[in-house]
A and B are shown apart, each in its own frame.
Chain A
Amino acid sequence: MGDVIVFVEHRGGHFPKTTLIGINAGLELAAKRGGSCSAVVAGEGADTVAAEVAKYGVAKVIVLEEPRLAHYLADAAAQALAVLVKSTGAETVLATATALGKDLMPRLAARLNVPMASEIIAINDDGTFVRPMYAGNVLATVELEGPVRIVTVRGTAFDAAKPAAAVAPIERVAATLDPAGLKMEFVAFNEIKSDRPELTEARIVVSGGRGLKSGENFKSVLEPLVDEMGAAMGASRAAVDAGFVPNDLQVGQTGKVVAPELYVAVGISGAIQHLAGMKDSKTIVAINKDEEAPIFSVADFGLVADLFKAVPEMVEAMKKVKH
């Protein structure tokens, strides 16, 4: 009773930190429900990932074996997982709310004909969950009624799992797929390569907005600060829509949610959709020339200044702090 299955996301054998966050949430949930927490891995590189994940406190790691799961596709993954969930009798299936988790889990819920709670931020003792709605302006306590419950967890709301004393056993399960239900084809993945830290994992995030005015300025003005601080780079929707930076840098209600130790917002007004993605950061700094900008209402330290003057100055000042 109360068993939890955590879907482990990875790409070719490497998994993001968000995977360990999902595992930790799964462990917490299983403890509260008096059950055990298993992890399930599929796809190319699953063995490497399974061996690694086995160190983080789960009761068991299940490797789903089936050549057609080599590359993640929603229809195949949902099928395979549904069979596994039924055979194990798990109470909850959980994944981190990454692009992949969001793609897969609702499909799995429909296949099992059970409800789902998206992006939960807390697990209550009575089995209910807390999740944000309306761009984080409302917190809802929700209950899922069904033989199985599906949840995705918000990466910023839980810590990453830590290595445990015991290493979990690895079990191989041959996945059963109905070929008639496999209609999707993977064509390509165009990775946006960057030497900077991952946006959702970084200790410091420096984000730029429309105030930067061009992609060129992101490079010549903002990036030196990002790199001097050893930060990840983020952006507002306005900056992404204008083509200044790639889509996957968008922070906000409909982009990525981050909560680093330090978030620096440069030339960003602070619309509620942007705040939804960063207001849980530990320390927030805003640099904006408009002293009325709403971003200052959440900033711990606000600097009213022209960014084109302040940001280069900050790069110099950072160098001095470091030396």
Chain B
Amino acid sequence: MKILVPVKRVPDPATTIRVLPDGSGIATDNVKWVINPFDEIAIEEALRIKEKQGAGQVILISIGQQAWQEQLRTGLAMGADRAILVRTETPLDPLAIARVIAKVASDEQPGLVIIGKQAIDDDSNQVGQMIAEFLGWPQATFASKLELAGEKCTVVREADGGLETVAFALPAVITTDLRLNEPRYASLPGIMKARKKPLLDITAESLGVDLAPKLKIRKLTAPAKRQAGRKVASVEELVAVLHTEAKVI
């Protein structure tokens, strides 16, 4: 089975993000770029399915600039088979990203699209669900467990107040939550092999889908900073100030 895994290049989660003074974007000097952590989980899950089935192909896809090759190579080094870089110089909105991925999925015909539940830069949590709708496929978001038996897929999802189980026949879209697995690191031999794996470079325009952004970011600002309070010396003092000063207990 083919499995398609979207990969987004994002700032390392440990980076302190600063808004540019004119509000046009974020400062990118000193930013270390990594694979979106949820996408690493998606790659890992795809690799495990392939390993378990003893056959198949894990295909990575990024919609971004030349530099995104770096993250695709890392994914290939983890063990993915090949990658597609859909080149665009202007950032797209989630709707257009989903259209591009859905188009590639309809060409490649994977059994599964496994995708991060959210990109930790825009925090949108949209693309997976949109792909599922564009393709007319079932979706299981926020997956913490996935079981495949032939064409049937059963997924345990992290819902509010408990765990929900849904089932459906493939093909389908699964979005990953943190507890699905622990991604592996790329091994040294993996890194060597990755250099020779195919990385297809195409333009977004060549896919013939609507790319015009409909979600427009007008400006970015930094949120008001919370003032640090003070240290208290003891539990007695803490409880006293909560009672008499903050009046919350």
Contacts and interface: CB of A to CB of B under 8 A. Distances in A.
A321 B161 CA distance: 32
Interface stretch (A45-53, A186-194, A207-215, A216-224): A186-194
A117 interface: yes
Interface in B160-191: 160-169, 172, 177-179
A178 B174 CA distance: 22
**Chain A facing B: main interface SS:** mixed
How many A residues touch the partner, as a band? 35 or more
Interface in B120-175: 120-134, 136-139, 141-142, 144, 154, 157-169, 172
Contacts of B164: 186, 188-190
B118 interface: yes
B156 to A, nearest CB: 8
User: Interface size class for chain B?
Assistant: 35 or more
B248 A283 contact: yes
Contacts, number: 257
Contacts of A186: 164, 166
B169 A183 contact: yes
Contacts of B157: 99
A291 B233 CA distance: 12
A110 B98 contact: yes
Tell me the dominant secondary structure on chain B's binding face.
mixed
Contacts of A318: 239, 249
Interface in B6-59: 11, 13, 16-17, 19, 26, 38
Contacts of A204: 248-249
Contact of A109 (B11, B118, B130): B130
Contacts of B162: 189-192, 248
15 contacts: A110-B129, A115-B214, A116-B124, A134-B120, A135-B17, A135-B123, A136-B223, A140-B220, A144-B215, A183-B136, A192-B161, A254-B178, A262-B249, A298-B226, A299-B229
Interface of A: 11, 16, 73-75, 78, 98-100, 102-111, 113-119, 128, 132-146, 181, 183-192, 198, 204, 229, 237, 240-241, 247-248, 253-254, 261-262, 272-273, 279, 282-285, 291, 296-305, 310, 313-314, 317-318, 320-321
